[in-house]
Amino acid sequence: MRTVTNIYKIRMKLLYVKNQNWSEQQTLLDPYITQCKKVIDLQDYTSAEASLCLPSDKKIVSDVMAMVDKKKTSNLRYIIVVGIGGSNLGSKAIYDALYGSTDQFMPERYPKMIFLDTIDAKTYKALFAFLMKNVIKEDEFLISIISKSGGTTESLVNAEILLSDIKKSFSQWKKRCVIITDTNSKLWIEGKRLGIDILDIPKKVGGRYSIFSAVGLFPLAVAGVDIQSLMKGAETMRNNCTLHSNENISRISAIFQYVYLQKGRTTHTSFYFHPELESLGKWYRQLTGESVGKEKKGITPLVSMGSVDHHSMVQLYFGGPPDKTTEIIYSTKTEDYPIPKDSLFPSLSTTEGKNTSEVMSAIQKGTVSAYKLQNEPYFEIVLDGINEYELGSYMQYKMMEIMYLAHLMQINAFDQPQVELYKIETKKILSKKDI
């Protein structure tokens, strides 16, 4: 585990944006930044920005670790996370960044996380047959049922189906479950009644801001993720992002997106250069989509993966309408592999004897050069490795960026009123049928 004196942090390369004069937007935003700082200083969990209190909340970490100690066993193979949206996107982002992207080739690396989000019969059939074969003892699995409201249809259906299957083989199944929900939600009450262990979520921390609550911390810690380092990264970033200076990259990024939105840049591309970060992009997609997509305003978030999307979306990015801003995210420290010196296809080779990191770095730098030459608005985020500390930093930076962006757009970053639209219609249809 890293120590508290760790000095690594995310850098923002500002080549493109450094000469901009954003004093007007800074003036608009700075009082809100001060207000956020006050929430942190007072650890004010009653405010809309309550999630800002999480990174330095020692009690949450100790509650989570106590539950981990109770549930984690040396035999643990599978942590099944039942949750959707804010209940699983954050933990999936971190798990995939650290382990998930190569899980298919490492069947014997344990523990693994399995995510059940939407309702899908094909998945159940394959999963239950798999568990039947690979889980022999009770302490080889753990089920985490996560729903802030306690009433999410998909998660309840998944929990009912999964548990009805698990119950058949494991009499002590309740001991292998942890429910994570709001205190006194219906699910909380049902869990108490059944004697299932429960972790709660601070009332004012919404799903998409909940990664540093038990929602993210418990399943990740059980999976072996260093949550102390994750929180340390988040805390350091949080403190930088309450400054009224260019140390505050959430402020820069929020103003950047806001200024260009006024100029018709309605789409923001997060362009990641490591395949294991795709789920991180999907987490940010929800954060943007739900936080600033309302009142007919909004920014459409795109996730692009280098270099797969160089052969897919890059033509549009450079040739299409000037309606996008871009953030290029990469780590300077990655695994490396030598490209053979003796090429099989000598007439074709331009990379023999190099390392893979050099080639990917050249593609990434070539991409940045192209953005620069095209005069497309972009900035770079440089991670110092793909690890808990950097991921915690990045996610905290993004959550504060979105709060600040919503403030500039004069939008409530914390509600999602239009989600009810399809839910009402769905409930009408479900209640019509009596089967």
Q: Which is nearer to a second copy, 228 or 257 (CB)?
A: 257
Cα–Cα distances (Å) from 178 to 8, 34, 162, 175, in that order, read 34, 37, 14, 8
Look-up of token digits 């053979």:
340
Separation of alpha carbons 78 and 111, rounded Å: 6
Measured in whole angstroms, the distance separating CA 68 from the mean position of its chain's CA atoms is 21
Based on the shown chain and the rule CB under 8 A, indicate whether residue 48 belongs to the binding site for a second copy: no
Look-up of token digits 């981990």:
68
- Element at 324 (helix H, strand E): strand 324-331
Q: Which is nearer to a second copy, 70 or 167 (CB)?
A: 167
Look-up of token digits 């074709």:
348
Q: Which 319-378 residues touch a second copy, going by CB under 8 A? A: 319-324, 334-337, 339-340, 343-363, 365-367, 369-370, 373-374
**Region from 6-14, 23-31, 68-76, 297-305 binding a second copy, contact rule CB under 8 A:** 297-305
Q: Where do runs of H (alpha helix) occur along 7-144?
A: 23-42, 58-71, 89-98, 121-134
Q: Which 219-278 residues touch a second copy, going by CB under 8 A? A: 266-267, 274-276
**Region from 39-47, 51-59, 146-154, 218-226 binding a second copy, contact rule CB under 8 A:** 146-154
Which residue of 122, 172, 195, 375 would you call a contact of a second copy, by CB under 8 A? Answer: 122
Tokens representing 186 are: 């219906």
Q: Which 182-211 residues touch a second copy, going by CB under 8 A? A: 186-187, 189-190, 194, 207
Q: Closest separation between CB of residue 79 and a second copy, Å?
A: 14
Q: Which is nearer to a second copy, 240 or 326 (CB)?
A: 326
Tokens representing 113 are: 């996380």
Based on the shown chain and the rule CB under 8 A, indicate whether residue 31 belongs to the binding site for a second copy: no
Which residue of 20, 73, 153, 239 would you call a contact of a second copy, by CB under 8 A? Answer: 153
Cα–Cα distances (Å) from 133 to 101, 137, 223, 369, in that order, read 23, 11, 21, 51
Q: Closest separation between CB of residue 130 and a second copy, Å?
A: 4
Q: Which is nearer to a second copy, 11 or 318 (CB)?
A: 318
Q: Closest separation between CB of residue 209 and a second copy, Å?
A: 14
Based on the shown chain and the rule CB under 8 A, indicate whether residue 164 belongs to the binding site for a second copy: yes
Q: Which is nearer to a second copy, 171 or 245 (CB)?
A: 171
Based on the shown chain and the rule CB under 8 A, indicate whether residue 103 belongs to the binding site for a second copy: yes
Contact between 362 and 207 under an 8 Å Cβ cutoff? The reply is no
| Residues near 28 by beta carbon (within 8 Å), at least 6 away in sequence | 407, 408
How many residues touch a second copy under the rule CB under 8 A: the total is: 131
- Element at 271 (helix H, strand E): strand 267-272
